[in-house]
Structure 1
Amino acid sequence: MEKRATVSRILNFSCVDGPGNRLVLFLQGCNFNCINCHNPHTINHCNHCGDCVAVCPAGALTTSENNQVNWNQDVCTQCDKCIDVCLNSSSPKTASYNVTELLAVIRKNALFISGITVSGGEATLQLPFIVELFKAIKTDNSLSHLTCFIDSNGYLSESGWQRVMPYLDGAMIDLKAWQQETHRWLVGRDNHKVIASIRLLAEAGKLHELRLLHIPNKSDLDTEVASVARLIRTLPPSVQIRLNAFQHHGVVGEALGWDKCSEAQMESFYQRLKVLIEQTIHLPQVYL
């Protein structure tokens, strides 16, 4: 049987999720539990508790005879009230696709895009599906011109990366903190696998972009600039470094009380980093 994936969203066109204009698949589920997550409704899978059904003003959510919450995409107005009341960091607005079904979606857009990016949640939790999808793209004459990218938190084993490597054109990896204690507090896990993934992908020529998140007075990348720079200097000059500024968009709970990263704070971080590395550094375009 074909592999299937639980998809939270399909974005037909994006210019910020890898090089060029890309179709982006956002998969449901994550193995991090970031306090500052901008998409907390993608962390867990729906547990079908039914709390969201009563608050849906459009009647797009119903409960089946076997107590499963069903979502009618055609009726949904995307008001997100279901996400607002969910206590499970999830969403009932997901869909299951097999590889053939997603290839049909990709074909409709193939003339207008340069590639596919699989994101999340954490995309690599559904690695068998990704491998099958990327392989199908690479072996299809009408789609093989498309590049295949993964946007990941980097928490995948070496053996996992090796499975997808033959079909992978590039990866974007987030490094959220340097010190182990800070990383565990922020996301619930250490960063050993993340750094190992960064090095492995760089050695294979597959690391397209390293993303550094600046959360003033919370994360430690700005206070560990020298250590972060030593890692970056081991990477090929072609690897792009993208600085992300913490903002409140989509955030819930404790992190809403944290200070947002200002342009001045980001500029200070940038100035301290750029003198230590040769890679191109991209700054945020917008501060909300």
Structure 2
Amino acid sequence: MRVHSIESFGTHDGPGIRLVIFLQGCKLKCLYCHNPDTIETSGGMEYTIEQLVEIALKMKPYFGKKGGVTVSGGEPLLQAKELIPFFKRLKEEGIHTNIDTNGRILNSYAKQLLDDYTDLVMLDIKHMTEEGYVALTGKSCKETTFNFAAYREASGKPMWLRYVLIPEITHKPELLHAMGKYFKNYTTIEKIELQPYHKLGIHKWEALGWEYQLKDARENTPDELQAAVAILQNYFKEVKTN
């Protein structure tokens, strides 16, 4: 697999202590991306499956009952075919598996990976309107994400939602209510994680020679974050702010 980077002892990418593997490549170019160097599919380093399994096994004593391996990106499902044997090996070793995805890929390889070997899915909800989705990601359409969510829901297996709060862009009461109403009857969603907006990735955009278009966007105030949590608590079992 083509890997951008590997993080040991991750605590914000799924339950417990986790080994987080960031894969290279993504078809979206989200305006707020804090790892834009993961977007190009030609970057990163190649690892064999057994190399990654060995790293996971060295970490296994620290996972405890809740931890495990999270594969993020980029968009990890671009390499779904390669992830199948990797996750199969992890499950053989009794290691919890998690995918952090934007939900745009649902081909036969992705379905096999999800159905047979993925314990948890963290699904990134970019925007609740098509116009907003295109403006943020450069691609259409948001329906692919919702189709992905419906597929996971039908499987009966756990899912978390993730949502970046950008004031005046994604952080609007009407959008939060729309998201809550859309997913309120889902039984597999264990929680939604809110990601406050930050500008920590601007220097990476500049290093790549790309224009960062959200320079004028501001960060969330504590009161705004509390208000967002209050809205979403009407719809979800658990609302967490990272």
TM-score w.r.t. length of structure 1: 0.75
Corresponding residue number in structure 2 for 1:18: 14
Corresponding residue number in structure 2 for 1:281: 239
Q: SS of 1:239's equivalent?
A: strand
Which residue, 215, 228, 231 being the options, matches 1:256?
215
Corresponding residue number in structure 2 for 1:155: 104
Corresponding residue number in structure 2 for 1:115: 68
In structure 1, how many angstroms separate the alpha carbons of the residues matched to 2:109 and 2:97?
16
In structure 2, how many angstroms separate the alpha carbons of the residues matched to 1:226 and 1:218?
14
In structure 2, how many angstroms separate the alpha carbons of the residues matched to 1:222 and 1:27?
33
Cα distance, 1:202 vs. partner? 2.1
Cα distance, 1:256 vs. partner? 2.2
In structure 1, how many angstroms separate the alpha carbons of the residues matched to 2:117 and 2:103?
17
Q: Pick the structure with greater CA Rg.
A: 1
RMSD: 1.7
Number of aligned residue pairs: give it.
229
In structure 2, how many angstroms separate the alpha carbons of the residues matched to 1:181 and 1:44?
24
Q: Can you list the C-alpha shifts for 1:71-101, whole angstroms capped at 9, x where unaligned? A: xxxxxxxxxxxxxxxxxxxx6xx32101111
Cα distance, 1:246 vs. partner? 0.9
Aligned CA distance change for structure 1 residues 238 and 198 (closer, same or farther; 3 Å): closer
Q: How does 1:186-205 map to 2 (within 5 A)?
A: 186-189=136-139, 190-205=141-156
Aligned CA distance change for structure 1 residues 171 and 267 (closer, same or farther; 3 Å): same
Aligned CA distance change for structure 1 residues 221 and 6 (closer, same or farther; 3 Å): farther
Aligned CA distance change for structure 1 residues 283 and 247 (closer, same or farther; 3 Å): same
Cα distance, 1:106 vs. partner? 1.5
Which residue, 141, 154, 167 being the options, matches 1:216?
167
In structure 2, how many angstroms separate the alpha carbons of the residues matched to 1:173 and 1:104?
27
- Identical aligned pairs, as a percentage? 26
The answer to whether residue 5 in structure 2 is matched with residue 9 in structure 1 is: yes
C-alpha contact 1:177 1:221 (8 A) present in aligned 2 = no
Cα distance, 1:184 vs. partner? 0.6
Q: Which amino acid in 2 is paired with 1:193?
A: T
In structure 2, how many angstroms separate the alpha carbons of the residues matched to 1:27 and 1:17?
14
The answer to whether residue 132 in structure 2 is matched with residue 182 in structure 1 is: yes
Aligned CA distance change for structure 1 residues 155 and 207 (closer, same or farther; 3 Å): farther
Cα distance, 1:188 vs. partner? 1.6
In structure 2, how many angstroms separate the alpha carbons of the residues matched to 1:262 and 1:21?
29
Q: SS of 1:132's equivalent?
A: helix
Corresponding residue number in structure 2 for 1:130: 83
Q: Can you list the C-alpha shifts for 1:85-129, whole angstroms capped at 9, x where unaligned? A: xxxxxx6xx321011111121122221223111000111111111
In structure 2, how many angstroms separate the alpha carbons of the residues matched to 1:136 and 1:221?
43
C-alpha contact 1:99 1:133 (8 A) present in aligned 2 = yes
In structure 2, how many angstroms separate the alpha carbons of the residues matched to 1:42 and 1:250?
12
- Report runs of 4+ in structure 1 exceeding 6 Å deviation: none
Q: Where do 5+ consecutive residues of structure 1 fail to align?
A: 47-90
In structure 2, how many angstroms separate the alpha carbons of the residues matched to 1:107 and 1:273?
37
Corresponding residue number in structure 2 for 1:74: none
Cα distance, 1:206 vs. partner? 2.7
C-alpha contact 2:81 2:110 (8 A) present in aligned 1 = no
Richer in helix (by share): 2
Q: Which amino acid in 2 is paired with 1:216?
A: P
Q: SS of 1:173's equivalent?
A: strand
The answer to whether residue 178 in structure 2 is matched with residue 227 in structure 1 is: yes
C-alpha contact 1:35 1:254 (8 A) present in aligned 2 = yes
Aligned CA distance change for structure 1 residues 222 and 40 (closer, same or farther; 3 Å): farther
The answer to whether residue 229 in structure 2 is matched with residue 270 in structure 1 is: yes
The answer to whether residue 45 in structure 2 is matched with residue 33 in structure 1 is: no
Q: Which amino acid in 2 is paired with 1:184?
A: V
C-alpha contact 1:22 1:116 (8 A) present in aligned 2 = yes
Which has the larger displacement, 178-187 or 211-220? 211-220
